[in-house]
Chain A
Amino acid sequence: MQQIINFLIKYRNLLLYLFLLFIALGFTIQSHDYHRNTTIHSTGYLTSSLLNTKSGIYEYFELKDQNNKLSKENARLRMRLLEISDTLLGEESTFIFSDSIPYKVFPARVIKNDFYKTDNYITIDIGTNQGIEPDMGVISHNGIVGVIDRSSDNFSRVISILNSQISLNAQIKGTATIGSLKWDGSDPYVMSLEDVPRLAKVTKGDTIITGRQSTMFPPDILIGVIRDAQLIENGSRYKIEVKLFNDMTDLDYINVIKNRDRMALKVIDTLGTNE
């Protein structure tokens, strides 16, 4: 007994070190897992409010840039509006603001963004109080950004598309060819579209958009253009390099999208497997 106590006293620093290291490594492994049970995250009360203050300060340095982007987006939206009113004539053009649209869009501000790690996350300043739930899609004016991972009252964490755990449904514009969009963890401007069949028509410069199978994103949201494509697995499939439209290293204002029909679609999707 005495020896055990002596041992404990003698090696108490080593034991403490190993114990704490074990905890830290546990957190690390957890953070690389695509699960919602991470213990260490940036949506806690103190951390998120500090990050919020910080991004509030940094915002002032970017006001001019912001104005520019907003006015450009405004112009583009106005163009779309004119286009619609042109085809629909008169009053009906207001239908795009009515309840018949299955998507609800929440504006939000990025208060923390990462891009150099293998598994990157973004923290934004809206949460469950504003109606945010896990699995909602996040886009910016240039294209997709990520998927909501977890929310606290007023903040949420977004799994960036620059995260090796994420895999999104995407399609080549103008065709019905779909594939899954992944990130290999190196270049924040390039992702890869995998599992595209050999017979698909793949042309350099084609646009990649979100697919209709995705329940998180509305269809036809921009992703990027094809930069390079090669056949893999004995030429049975394409692996396509996609240059992103979005500059993931420079995000500020983004939109969270709520799909009204998501649950319904999910139920329909799982019907087959229950049989």
Chain B
Amino acid sequence: MNSTLLNNILRFLGLLILQVFLFDEIDFLGFIDPMVYVLFIILFPVENKRWNFIFFAFGLGIILDTFQNTGGAHAAASLTLAFTRPLWLRLVYGESYKMKNIKILQSSVDRVMLLLTLSIILHHLIFFSLVIFNSSQILYILKLTLMVGLASLVVNSILLALFKPKVKV
């Protein structure tokens, strides 16, 4: 078993447990529960097969769905984020991101933050649209996306800062 795979499995389980046991209980202002498991999808190694990646994202989502009784909302959101990640990577790191074989964790802070923000907006928008599932409540969906998105962004940045190996700015 190579270390990348082991790392990712640990990250998968770690973020899952952290999400269910800690961050689902935050309830800041009554409804803000930051979503940290998005980090798994963002940090998944770029060079890996997309096939696996999509499956992992779906699996992680569906597990969270069973915990939160959200049907398939987490799954659909993480799946879409995983599928569209090349698009965001191209946007953030430029066309040549594939050649450079980038390691997202070791790239500069502003790039990571940009990637994180874009990913969180997409993920939360899909998630809350599916959870609320009512077109007449678009404002509520946007409010949830904005507020929870901000919380997720802050918490995810803190987690990244805590676990980042040897920062190269």
Interface residues of chain A, those whose CB is within 8 Å of chain B, are 12-14, 16-17, 20-21, 23-32, 38, 40-42, 44, 47, 50-51, 54, 57-58, 112, 114-121, 123, 157, 164, 185-186, 188, 249
Closest A residue by C-beta to B78: A24
* B53 closest partner in A (C-beta): A13
Inter-chain contact A41/B69, CB cutoff 8 Å: yes
Q: Kindly list 18 other residue pairs between chains A and B, CB separation below 8 angstroms, not including A27-B71, A28-B133.
A: A13-B50, A13-B51, A16-B55, A23-B72, A28-B70, A28-B76, A31-B71, A40-B71, A40-B72, A42-B66, A42-B69, A44-B66, A114-B69, A117-B131, A120-B69, A185-B137, A186-B137, A249-B30
Contact indicator A21/B76 (Cβ below 8 Å): yes
B65 and A40: CB pair below 8 A?
Answer: yes
B72:A25 contact, CB within 8 angstroms: yes
Contact of A27 among B55, B67, B75, B83 (CB under 8 A): B75
- The interface residues of chain B, by DSSP majority, are classed as helix
The distance in angstroms between the C-alpha atoms of A236 and B131, with both chains bound, is 34
- Could you pull out 14 A-B pairs where Cβ atoms are within 8 angstroms? A13-B51, A16-B54, A30-B71, A40-B62, A40-B65, A40-B72, A57-B21, A58-B25, A115-B31, A118-B133, A119-B133, A185-B134, A185-B137, A188-B30
- Docked complex Cα distance between A51 and B17 (Å): 11
A121–B69 contact, CB under 8 A? yes
CB within 8 A of A24: which of B27, B51, B76, B131? B76
Q: Which residues of B contact A (CB under 8 A)?
A: 20-21, 25, 27, 30-31, 50-51, 54-55, 58, 61-62, 65-73, 75-76, 79-80, 83, 130-134, 137, 140, 144
Residues of B within 8 A of A41 (CB): 66, 69
Nearest-CB residue, chain A, relative to B131: A117
Task: Give the complex CA separation of A23 and B58 in angstroms.
Answer: 10
List of B residues within 8 angstroms of A51 by Cβ: 20, 67
Q: Closest 9 CB pairs between A and B?
A: A31-B71, A27-B72, A24-B72, A24-B76, A24-B75, A28-B71, A116-B31, A121-B69, A17-B83
Whether A17 touches B67, Cβ cut-off 8 Å, given contacts A24-B61, A54-B21, is no
In the assembled complex, the Cα of A273 lies from the Cα of B133 at a distance in Å of 35
Residues of B within 8 A of A38 (CB): 71
User: How far, in angstroms, from A116 to B24 measured CA to CA in the complex?
Assistant: 12
